[in-house]
Structure 1
């Protein structure tokens, strides 16, 4: 309902333009400024208030255990494929070692 402050600020500004009394002019301009600042504050709070407070909640122990169990079958399947017998690749010749010219 912060938009009501904008309507009140516009009404106070229109009243300031239509009055002939100097005290009412100053009072309505101050009221228009205050209502405008309240509107901007409300607009800011509506846009950015929920962004700062989005803190992730910690996992419950049961949720954490369920996630571990979901990941466990994938880990055991990977281990089974690596331990299965497979033909050994032919040994490639080792690259020649470079010697340091400063050592004899």
Structure 2
């Protein structure tokens, strides 16, 4: 729909070029400038407006758990339980 502003701006430029009245020429040039600015605003909104407002999708529970596992410090392997050392018997 913003392309309609560009077509109207071109029409206003055409009127300003072909007219012999200075007041009409000034009015049509101002209208053409305004319509050209509206076209540029519409073009910008169509290209970049939808991407700026996109919310990030929420993470799935499995993805969230995988991220937590990556951030957790590595756990050293557990040492096997050592059996108590036999008591030394004094020589008799």
Instruction: Name the TM-score, length of structure 1 as normaliser.
Output: 0.57
Question: What is the SS of the residue equivalent to 2:9?
Answer: helix
Counting only pairs closer than 5 Å after superposition, residues 2-81 of structure 1 correspond to structure 2 as: 2-59=2-59, 63-64=60-61, 67=62
Equivalent pairs, count = 66
CA apart distance, 1:57 = 3.6
Distance 1:11 1:24 in 2: 13
Distance 1:4 1:16 in 2: 18
The residue that corresponds to 2:86 in the other structure is none
**Segments of 4+ in structure 1 off by > 3 A?**
none
Q: Which runs of 5+ in 2 are unaligned?
A: 67-76, 78-92
The residue that corresponds to 2:74 in the other structure is none
Instruction: Name the TM-score, length of structure 2 as normaliser.
Output: 0.64
Q: Which runs of 5+ in 1 are unaligned?
A: 72-81, 83-104
